Amino acid sequence: VPRVSEEYSAARRQQIIDAAFRCFALKGFHGATMRDIYEEAGLSPGAVYHYFESKDEIIRASFDFDYQRSLDVFTAARDSDDPLTALNELLDFFLRGLEGAAALGAGRVNVQGWGEALVNPNLLETIQRVLEGYLDALSHIIRRAQALGQIDDSLDPLSVGRLLLSTYYGLELQKALDPDVDVGKYSAAARALLLSTSRRA
């Protein structure tokens, strides 16, 4: 009675996701065929379909990969004594993270995912959920910064959150289109202009 362990199943799923991720980064969601994926994973088509119902589901699964870890970072920053500094550190942390992510092709997959989401309701939902999570956390911190007079409290916290998100996604986009973009300098500009701690509203 060979009931396979859950770890085994999880490992196989991950193996497929990883392979798919590489294919998507290289050839795009449509350019990468299921054949590409199951060959990259070293499996048969049937094996892949044993773990995923469709290519679509694999695409979706390629997206959840680091969301949880990201939220953990936000949570840690949520109740800092100095929200503005926390935001700065947060921004810096994620912007610098793009350097490593780019190497793995994550930027390429994400940018393609945005476009795909506009046309693929399942993916849209996934992305919207992620975005919402980020914006909730950011709004919370921004409101605290406003309460402390660190940020002009006439500004809409959600919109400020979107602006910070733009700073991040805009760099992810530019770095995907041109890997030579200098993350360090961009980060410095963002810190200086956007959330300068020397200034008060």
Partner DNA sequence: TATGAATGAGTATTCATTCAT
Partner DNA sequence: CATGAATGAATACTCATTCAT
Q: Which residues bind a second copy (CB under 8 A)?
A: 27-31, 108, 111-119, 124, 127-128, 131, 151-152, 155-156, 158-160, 162-163, 165-171, 173-174, 176-178, 181-182, 185-186, 188-190, 192-195, 199
Residue 75 interaction partner, one of a second copy, DNA, none, beta carbon < 5-8 Å per kind:
none
C-alpha to C-alpha distance for 20 and 91, rounded to whole angstroms? 29
| Element (DSSP H or E) covering residue 27 | helix 6-31
Q: How far is the CB of 151 from a second copy (least distance, A)?
A: 8
Query: Please, which of residues 18-47 interact with DNA by CB under 7 A?
Result: 32-35, 43-47
Q: In 3-state terms, what secondary structure has residue 133?
A: helix
Joined together, the tokens standing for residue 164 give 């910070």
Q: In 3-state terms, what secondary structure has residue 162?
A: helix
Interface pick for DNA out of 26, 28, 39, 50 (rule CB under 7 A): 50
Nearest Cα to 138, choosing from 121, 123, 155?
Answer: 155
C-alpha to C-alpha distance for 77 and 68, rounded to whole angstroms? 15
Q: Which is nearer to a second copy, 50 or 76 (CB)?
A: 50
- Positions touching DNA (CB under 7 A) are 1-5, 8-9, 12, 32-35, 43-47, 49-51, 53-56
